[in-house]
Amino acid sequence: MSPSASVVTYYDSEVITRRNTSEPEIWITMEYCEGPSLQDYINTRIQLSESFSVKEVYEIIDNVVQAIGHLHSQSPPISHWDIKPDNFLFTHGGILKLCDFGSASRIYYEPKREAHISAAQDELNSKMTLLYRAPESLDLWSKQRIDTKADIWSLGVLIYVLVFCEMPFEANTVEIIDGVPRRFRSEINSCPEPFAPLMAVVMKTMLVKDPQKRADIFTVSEALSQITKLDSLTRPSEGLETQRPRF
């Protein structure tokens, strides 16, 4: 993967085999980000009862979208599959960078057979964090494709957390599969007025239960740019390799 200002830089790696061990170890050298994680930053604001300003939220979103866009622009696209505040680190200069690629993949899941569904369930459980998982990754019997669109759902959850300083769903599989965030379960929602345009974009393009109707990161970026006035991502040219199926 090519370098990006929004993703921690990879420098080198080596496979180490220790004495009296049968399994080798993979050592990876990556950029050091000495600042806190985005989750630490959010926790501090919650403890101080200080909500984020619109400007702060827009700046964070810009960094996060740039990182996801970089992954999804690769050939074939890379799904991170664990987009959450814990996996974004601040550098000394205050730049937010995506890290932890243990869950990242260039494949997609679309299991049809029972054995494949069982295998996919085990693999996805080890890669994804429940509170940020897309509905299709939890309801494998729906036999929907699980790919980069799962990152878009996670992005929507992350933005919701920045706006409301709370999770949109309980750690409940049925509630997440249902796909309706707690603040939007009635016609009268409690969204702060300054964030209403942003949350309208989130609900229309990101927190969409059907992955086929959920936007890709480039459409999301374009929609966000209309309200944040920040630059949108450039959609990759046609001809990129596509992700291959797991089964």
Active site residues: 82
* Structure-token pair, residue 115: 């054995």
Please state, as a whole number, how many other Cβ atoms lie within 10 Å of the Cβ of residue 100.
Answer: 15
